[in-house]
């Protein structure tokens, strides 16, 4: 019968059989799937696993610390954190177009991650032969199945390695649906903040700033987002809403009156949605008092924000994210 205990036991045995006494690398994104996959592999092979976390500076408040501290505390995994914040800011400088932002973030992410893989290979030697991925059953069905290998090229990075390095994939969540992954993660002792995390896009806050991405804008958005999340959690609404993007309209300014004078600041958009699978969505009818608390706190506590607006568009026609 299906129990999380059985799934863990089976997968631990399968991972041990596959990896043997070799070593594996797992990239952590801050999301549920990579965290649970890494925790499973960690349980199976312990210190033969090295986890990598690329800090691109586009995460929400506290999320990087969650990986660095809470994930490590819960699993005991070796973690290599790459601070790439400045590199991403430099690459994104002057860019406002959403698709261009996505491409840049995706490209830089792969480059930084591959560089980290190569460094681990140099430090740990050729026994590093496996790459862990948090692929779920629906991902496999959508992409037509099959498992395989991942290649990275080493030539432009570091010396002393073959030009083409091939990793065999370890995909311990291949048979699981999202809710099952959460149950397995919980059983493995991962904190709720990781296991119950709502969807969050890979490009992170980079696509929640309408306009150019800068450090100041990211910091501002992080504060506003943290307030919204705090109030939604306090109101017990986390399960009810699918996700609530908080968006900074950095290229829009509006007049306000705050304290003793007029201000000319930026609006923050709240985009709470309910959904089954993110393909379609409806805007969440949040209680007015919760919206009021979020609005009051954001305008009081976040400098340069003098207006909070609610997105009341379903998907379609609006996408969930603004970019």
**Of the residues 202, 211, 219, 238, which one makes contact with ligand XMP according to CB under 6 A:** 202
134 makes contact with ligand XMP (CB under 6 A): no
Closest to ligand XMP by CB, 45 or 173: 173
Residue 257 labelled as part of a binding site: no
What tokens appear for 145 in the block? 């199945």
In this chain, which stretch among 43-51, 80-88, 124-132, 198-206 interacts with ligand XMP, using CB under 6 A?
198-206
135 makes contact with ligand XMP (CB under 6 A): no
Is the Cβ–Cβ distance between 208 and 222 less than 8 Å? no
Q: How far is CA 236 from CA 103, 142, 144, 311, in A?
A: 36, 33, 38, 21
- The C-alpha atoms of residue 90 and residue 87 are separated, in whole angstroms, by 5
**Of the residues 172, 201, 206, 267, which one makes contact with ligand XMP according to CB under 6 A:** 201
Torsion angle defined by CA atoms of residues 122, 157, 113 and 16, in that order, rounded to the nearest 10 degrees: -30
66 makes contact with ligand XMP (CB under 6 A): no
The 230-249 contact track toward ligand XMP, x by CB under 6 A, reads -------------x------
Closest to 201 measured CA to CA, from 98, 317, 294: 98
In this chain, which stretch among 32-40, 44-52, 171-179, 201-209 interacts with ligand XMP, using CB under 6 A?
201-209
**Of the residues 199, 258, 289, 300, which one makes contact with ligand XMP according to CB under 6 A:** 199
Q: How far is CA 103 from CA 20, 110, 113, 133, in A?
A: 37, 11, 15, 21
Residue 314 labelled as part of a binding site: no
Residue 35 labelled as part of a binding site: yes
Please state the closest distance from residue 245 (CB atom) to ligand XMP, in A.
7
What tokens appear for 236 in the block? 């017990």
Q: What DSSP string describes 271-313? A: --EE-SSSSSBEE----HHHHHHHHHHHHHHSTTEEEEEE---
Q: Which residues contact residue 295 at a Cβ distance below 8 angstroms, ignoring those fewer than 6 apart?
A: 308
278 makes contact with ligand XMP (CB under 6 A): yes
Q: How far is CA 319 from CA 31, 122, 161, 314, 316, in A?
A: 21, 43, 44, 8, 6
In this chain, which stretch among 41-49, 70-78, 197-205, 302-310 interacts with ligand XMP, using CB under 6 A?
197-205
The residue assigned the tokens 């999380």 is 4
12 makes contact with ligand XMP (CB under 6 A): no
- What is the size of the binding site for ligand XMP (CB under 6 A)? 11
**Of the residues 16, 87, 102, 178, which one makes contact with ligand XMP according to CB under 6 A:** 102
Is the Cβ–Cβ distance between 252 and 264 less than 8 Å? no
In this chain, which stretch among 8-16, 93-101, 195-203, 282-290 interacts with ligand XMP, using CB under 6 A?
195-203
- Which residues contribute to the site for ligand XMP (CB under 6 A)? 102, 199, 201-203, 243, 278, 315, 319-321
Residue numbers in the known binding site for ATP are: 29-35
């Amino acid at each position: 019968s299906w129990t999380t205990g059985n799934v863990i036991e089976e997968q631990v045995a399968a991972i041990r059989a596959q990896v043997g006494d070799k070593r594996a690398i797992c990239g952590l994104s801050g999301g549920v799937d990579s965290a649970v996959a890494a925790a499973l592999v960690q349980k199976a092979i312990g210190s033969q696993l090295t986890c990598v976390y690329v800090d691109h500076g586009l995460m929400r408040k506290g999320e990087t610390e969650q990986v660095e501290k809470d994930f490590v505390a819960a699993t005991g995994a070796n973690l290599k954190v790459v601070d790439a914040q400045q590199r991403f800011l430099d690459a994104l400088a002057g860019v406002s177009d959403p698709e261009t932002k996505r491409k840049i973030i995706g490209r830089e992410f792969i480059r930084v991650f591959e560089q980290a893989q190569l460094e681990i290979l140099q430090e740990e030697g050729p026994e590093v032969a496996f790459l862990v991925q948090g692929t779920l059953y629906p991902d496999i069905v959508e992409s037509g199945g099959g498992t395989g290998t991942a290649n990275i090229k080493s030539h432009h990075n570091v010396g002393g390695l073959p030009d083409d390095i091939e990793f065999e994939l370890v995909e311990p969540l291949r048979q699981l649906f999202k809710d099952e992954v959460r149950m397995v993660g919980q059983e493995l002792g991962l904190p709720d903040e990781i296991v119950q995390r709502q969807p969050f896009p890979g490009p992170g806050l980079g696509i929640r700033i309408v306009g150019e991405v800068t450090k100041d804008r990211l910091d501002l958005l992080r504060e506003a987002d943290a307030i919204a999340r705090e109030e939604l959690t306090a109101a017990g609404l986390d399960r009810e809403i699918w996700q609530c993007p908080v968006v900074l309209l950095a290229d829009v300014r509006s007049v306000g009156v705050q304290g003793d004078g007029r201000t000319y600041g930026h609006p923050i958009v709240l985009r709470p949605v309910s959904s089954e699978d993110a393909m379609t969505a409806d805007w969440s009818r949040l209680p007015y008092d919760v919206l009021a608390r979020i609005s009051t706190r954001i305008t009081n506590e976040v400098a340069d924000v003098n207006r909070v607006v609610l997105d009341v568009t379903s998907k379609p026609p609006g996408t969930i994210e603004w970019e």
